[in-house]
Amino acid sequence: MAMNVSPLSRRQLVRTGTLSAGVLLVAVLFLFVNYLGWKYHHRFDWTASGVYSLSEKSRNVIEEMKRDVEFVVFITPEQDLYDPVRELLSQYDAASQRITVRYFDPERKPVEAGQIAQKYGATSNDSLIVVQSGKDRRVINSADLAEFDFSGVQMGQAPKMTGFKGEQLFTGALLQLAEGRKPKILFTTGHGEHSLDDRQVHGLSSVHDLLGRDNFELEEWASRTATGVPKEADLVVIAGPTSPFIESELKAFTTYLTGGGRILVLVDPTPGQTPGAGLVPTGLTQWLSGYGVKLGDDIVIDPKGSYPGAPPYTLYPDNYGDHPITRPLSQARVPVLLNVARSVQAASAGVYQAEELLRTTDAGWGETNLADLDHVERDAQDLAGPVPLGVAVEGPKVGKKRPFRLVVLGDSDLATNQLVAGMPANAVLLANSLNWLAEREALLTIPPKKTENVRLNLTQDQFWTLVLSVLVFLPGLAIALGTSVYLRRRR
């Protein structure tokens, strides 16, 4: 017996099938879009300084990782650092499958947090981040993650976070774990150099903190009595000598460079004790000339490029050469601060490749008349600007030996506690010089990123205009349009 289907039932069947197919298609499309979003997702950072974005240097370090790394975070959600740390670590987590992140709240899970903290050699009250790979680990204290402005504390205001150093410390920890050893830096002594143990303004104790984050081992070395540079030395630093190096020391430096050594020279223009005596000799001028570096017997003056309110020999240069050491500073357009500097030029060096790192403005010059620096005038005998203040030299590659590297800067005060702690650009210049010398271009320093405090200031009229627009006009417009469509369909 044949079964007849009414036209109404057929139309209803078609509608049901179409609706089902539409729902199925939307579900498939939803799953497909979510799969693409999971596999090819991209995060956007709308902050002006890129606080929550990884730099190219960090991405290079992450791409070269050969070991699994875990970040263990002991910071409570109530702390100001929690959100920037969590957001930044999510970038690291998304950048590599070798990176995992775990969070422990000591207040909500005190027993579990205490057990984990004890495992990493901390206490349950510590606020820190542990970066671990296998049995090796690095511990980052939360106090080191940010720069604060305490100017309003006396007025009862809370400290304001002005800079976030999370990426600098996290990437530094990854590099330390990847290297597995600490390059050794020897600082020469016996010639009036700055001391690593000196915590006064002219000491280098702050360099311990700065270079410790970059996984360097620092040690002072009495070069005057040594027969040669120790084999375990990865770098030698000469920081502010005020008396001459002897011939045996210079020969040791030459032998060291010939074998692919690395040396950083920070040499000041130290005036003699009597008027007209010129600069105190260090024995380095002639020796450096053999490597294409010309030290000027002058003090650099720059009326247009000096630090605001300071004498014209206190320089604030931002005219950088195109070199890996200074490229981050050039891109950020931030100046370094030099107390008193001498000119350092790249001279003819034969097979050596010498590049100038930074210069004064066109108005600067190298003053050769050192009798009265308070009343200086440029004359024909002075070196015309822009005056170079630093040089990087790389030797040729011979056989399997690595080429030597040499960096010379005309001021040692830039590395002292007074300037390296208060001037982030100085810290970048020093750390970048040492990282380039050590062939660690992947960690040419990532400067602290400035946090943003964005506020929307409205007048009373603007406030009420905004309230009426959002709470009255827009909802009323939606209701009116909906009513109009409904009435039109009813007809």
What is the rounded CA–CA span in Å between residue 62 and residue 70?
13
Fold of 181-447: Rossmann fold (3.40.50)
For residue 83, pLDDT beyond 60? yes
335, 473, 475, 476, 490 from 486: Cα distances, Å = 65, 20, 16, 15, 6
Nearest CA to 347 among 305, 408, 404, 302?
A: 408
- In this prediction, residue 468 carries a pLDDT of 82
Question: How big is the chain, counted in residues?
Answer: 491
Global pTM reads 0.67
* 201-239 pLDDT, tens digit each: 999 988 877 776 556 889 999 999 998 999 999 999 999
* 367-401 pLDDT, tens digit each: 998 877 777 888 888 999 899 999 999 998 877 88
Percent of the chain with pLDDT over 70: 82
* 158-192 pLDDT, tens digit each: 667 777 778 878 888 888 788 777 789 999 999 99
Q: Hey, what amino acid is at 98?
A: R
**Domain boundaries for CATH 3.40.30.10 within the chain:** 56-170
* 403-421 pLDDT, tens digit each: 999 999 999 999 999 898 7
Q: Which CATH architecture has domain 56-170?
A: 3-Layer(aba) Sandwich (3.40)
**Domain boundaries for CATH 3.40.50 within the chain:** 181-447
Work out the average pLDDT over 423-450: 78
Name the band, by pLDDT with cuts 50, 70 and 90, for residue 43: low
Q: How far is CA 58 from the centre of its chain?
A: 10
Nearest CA to 367 among 301, 411, 317?
A: 301
